[in-house]
Chain A
């Protein structure tokens, strides 16, 4: 099988958008050039399982240009058919259609595994888990995988703890160059702007409740405030809640905040974060969305079971009448809005994440003896990604002086040494 896409004729528009992204991805370009020159991925079968839009396409193409045999899959709700067509036009087997449902998504992922990838570049760990469950013969031949999301690394660590993980996995998500920027600034911008665009609202003067103040939540809070919203943060972790307070945000329980919310954005990645009671307490006209996220982070199935009914649907906006009588608008059925209803995180931010992914692939393929576990990307590789990006943003990194190095290397007290 050599691919399954919606319409090959869409390739030109997809290619234009890939070209735009690539022009703003200096880290990906630099690291893929090194992989090509060193022959690191030459002839290696690599499966890319990711949101399929212009930035991820750039990574798939970069790996292919460096000599890898690249196959691509993506869930239907995360697939851009134009981009899929552009990758197919470039000769890559692509298994992704925007209109695919869950069963076809699974068939597409299995089709990728039929190419017997030696490395999987994953987003959400769904394909890594699938290969362990359904294709043990493929796993046995694999050299490893990389995973770029918080929600994907968590089950992989569980797999390792339970002895189920059979390949080395680099937690690209945990690299500082990824999580400090992608999760916070990238998702912050893309989620907040997508909420405003999809719901067609101005955030000026609106009350925005941000549920969860991790890296994603803090970025969402910051961007909402920048557009003129009054932000209330809800948190279950006292330290994170304190951080929110020190950033100048009101901190309340979700039950307290819901009653005055114009917008609720969940950023916890935990099922049933916004529960039926919260939805029921929202004022009429409130908007609910998920940034990042997992299925049923907004408890929509439970809400329907409790009597909520959809009274209107306009594009990605579903309007529900709750049992309390209030009418709330749910964006994109509670899916990860910035991906499914917008264009994903900004290009240069994703460039950092994909730079980390490429560095992770390089680490997997050039490091002997990595055991079947979840590994961190070495600090030096992480630093290199950041340094390339910093230069592209116009910054210059300083160096440690000999005196500083001596100080850091010594355990002797230096009190009075300069007197």
Chain B
């Protein structure tokens, strides 16, 4: 995106305050930092701008460190992503969350963050998982729990199904009814799913389900990045720098990104 190329040092400092402060602490030369895992790669124009203006080259490499291995990154990213997903569902459908029944699919931190937020704002949450530990915790926390294979056999309307990408594979989205959102970091659970257009932008029809397109957790090409995307990128670069220069000090990472 051309706007990435127009970055000045001051502008990029404001967008990535934590990571660039850490970068200055250790900077000696251009840093090449690699991450793997489920997060998508950065747009080439952004990667280039970061390299030229800030002196960090952030590469997606399957052999790079998986940021989700850091407990602190997992906590931060799950909370930011849950907020981002709920805001996107609301803005892209103009439908209510309070009063609805929402199935949250998966067994990771993102599923927990989504379930907590949804319950707080008045949705009835079903945790869909096969993981025994998640089932135990969810039942003790008062959630209805459903095995994955029963996801499409429902005795009451489910208005929204949120896929988190953790603890489940490809699911038969076309067998679901209502809204479906793929909240996973890389969109793997719905990759290649063919939808037909609906009367609403960002919503595609597949079977009796309406798939609501989700924004990427990191800045995307050709879309003006949101503050949530910059915040997660800031945290990602900070994590990679701490991994290199401070032996992956997760406590320090947590302190650096705590608001």
Note whether A and B form a binding pair. yes
CB neighbours (8 Å) of B90 from chain A are 189-190, 193, 346
CB neighbours (8 Å) of A17 from chain B are 199-200
Choice from B83, B200, B258 contacting A227 with Cβ under 8 Å: B83
A322 beta carbon closer than 8 Å to chain B: no
CB neighbours (8 Å) of B200 from chain A are 16-17, 20
B245 beta carbon closer than 8 Å to chain A: no
CB neighbours (8 Å) of B98 from chain A are 185, 188-189, 349
A19 to chain B minimum Cβ distance, whole angstroms, is 5
CB neighbours (8 Å) of B159 from chain A are 393
Is A394's CB under 8 angstroms from B156's CB? yes
CB neighbours (8 Å) of B100 from chain A are 393
Given that A19-B199, A222-B121 are known contacts, is A394 also in contact with B101, CB under 8 Å in the complex?
A: yes
CB neighbours (8 Å) of B87 from chain A are 193, 196-197, 227
B231 beta carbon closer than 8 Å to chain A: yes
Q: Give the complex CA separation of A122 and B226 in angstroms.
A: 37
Q: Give the complex CA separation of A226 and B118 in angstroms.
A: 7
Given that A222-B120, A394-B157 are known contacts, is A346 also in contact with B94, CB under 8 Å in the complex?
A: yes
CB neighbours (8 Å) of B227 from chain A are 200-202
Is B259's CB under 8 angstroms from A347's CB? no
A378 beta carbon closer than 8 Å to chain B: no
A206 beta carbon closer than 8 Å to chain B: yes
Considering only residues 135-175 of chain B, those with a C-beta below 8 Å from chain A are 156-157, 159
A343 beta carbon closer than 8 Å to chain B: yes
CB neighbours (8 Å) of A226 from chain B are 117-118, 120-121
Q: Give the complex CA separation of A348 and B87 in angstroms.
A: 17
Choice from B101, B117, B157, B203 contacting A228 with Cβ under 8 Å: B117
Considering only residues 1-22 of chain A, those with a C-beta below 8 Å from chain B are 16-17, 19-21
- The digit string for B198-237, where 1 denotes a CB below 8 A from any CB of A, is 1110010000000000000000000000111001000000
- The digit string for B99-130, where 1 denotes a CB below 8 A from any CB of A, is 11100000000000000011011100000000
A375 beta carbon closer than 8 Å to chain B: no
B95 beta carbon closer than 8 Å to chain A: yes
Considering only residues 37-59 of chain B, those with a C-beta below 8 Å from chain A are none
A186 beta carbon closer than 8 Å to chain B: yes
Is A347's CB under 8 angstroms from B95's CB? yes
Is A202's CB under 8 angstroms from B80's CB? yes
- The digit string for A34-55, where 1 denotes a CB below 8 A from any CB of B, is 0000000000000000000010
Is B121's CB under 8 angstroms from A223's CB? yes
A320 beta carbon closer than 8 Å to chain B: no
Q: Give the complex CA separation of A225 and B152 in angstroms.
A: 31
Tell me how many residues of B have a C-beta within 8 Å of chain A. 34
CB neighbours (8 Å) of B97 from chain A are 189, 346
Is A205's CB under 8 angstroms from B157's CB? no
Is B117's CB under 8 angstroms from A349's CB? no
A271 beta carbon closer than 8 Å to chain B: no
Tell me how many residues of A have a C-beta within 8 Å of chain B. 39
Is A197's CB under 8 angstroms from B83's CB? no
A293 beta carbon closer than 8 Å to chain B: no
Is B198's CB under 8 angstroms from A200's CB? no
CB neighbours (8 Å) of A186 from chain B are 96
Choice from B91, B99, B226 contacting A393 with Cβ under 8 Å: B99
A62 beta carbon closer than 8 Å to chain B: no
Is B259's CB under 8 angstroms from A206's CB? yes
B87 to chain A minimum Cβ distance, whole angstroms, is 5
Considering only residues 304-335 of chain A, those with a C-beta below 8 Å from chain B are none
B79 beta carbon closer than 8 Å to chain A: yes
B86 beta carbon closer than 8 Å to chain A: yes
Choice from B91, B96, B259 contacting A204 with Cβ under 8 Å: B259
A89 beta carbon closer than 8 Å to chain B: no
CB neighbours (8 Å) of B79 from chain A are 204, 228
Given that A185-B122, A202-B80, A205-B259 are known contacts, is A349 also in contact with B199, CB under 8 Å in the complex?
A: no
Is B198's CB under 8 angstroms from A20's CB? yes
Q: Give the complex CA separation of A394 and B102 in angstroms.
A: 12
CB neighbours (8 Å) of A347 from chain B are 93-96
Choice from A16, A227, A344 contacting B86 with Cβ under 8 Å: A227
Is A393's CB under 8 angstroms from B157's CB? yes
CB neighbours (8 Å) of B83 from chain A are 196, 202-204, 227-228
A24 beta carbon closer than 8 Å to chain B: yes
Is A349's CB under 8 angstroms from B96's CB? yes
Is A346's CB under 8 angstroms from B80's CB? no
CB neighbours (8 Å) of B258 from chain A are 205
A394 to chain B minimum Cβ distance, whole angstroms, is 4
Q: Give the complex CA separation of A347 and B94 in angstroms.
A: 6
Q: Give the complex CA separation of A133 and B86 in angstroms.
A: 45
A31 to chain B minimum Cβ distance, whole angstroms, is 19
Q: Give the complex CA separation of A186 and B96 in angstroms.
A: 7
- The digit string for A165-206, where 1 denotes a CB below 8 A from any CB of B, is 000000000000000010001101110010011001111111
Q: Give the complex CA separation of A179 and B118 in angstroms.
A: 22
CB neighbours (8 Å) of B122 from chain A are 185, 222
Considering only residues 44-82 of chain B, those with a C-beta below 8 Å from chain A are 79-80
Q: Give the complex CA separation of A188 and B94 in angstroms.
A: 13
CB neighbours (8 Å) of A185 from chain B are 96, 98-99, 122
Q: Give the complex CA separation of A149 and B157 in angstroms.
A: 31
A22 to chain B minimum Cβ distance, whole angstroms, is 10
| Cβ-closest chain A residue relative to B224 | A200
A391 to chain B minimum Cβ distance, whole angstroms, is 10
Given pairs A16-B199, A193-B90, A228-B117, 12 additional interface contacts (CB within 8 A) = A21-B94, A54-B94, A189-B90, A205-B259, A222-B122, A226-B121, A227-B87, A228-B83, A343-B94, A346-B97, A347-B95, A349-B99
The chain B residues found within 8 Å of chain A, CB to CB, are: 79-80, 83, 86-87, 90-91, 93-101, 117-118, 120-122, 156-157, 159, 198-200, 203, 226-228, 231, 258-259
Pairs A–B under 8 Å by Cβ, sample size 13: A20-B198, A189-B96, A203-B83, A222-B122, A223-B121, A343-B94, A346-B95, A348-B99, A349-B98, A392-B157, A393-B157, A394-B156, A394-B157
Closest 3 CB pairs of A and B: A205-B259, A346-B96, A226-B120
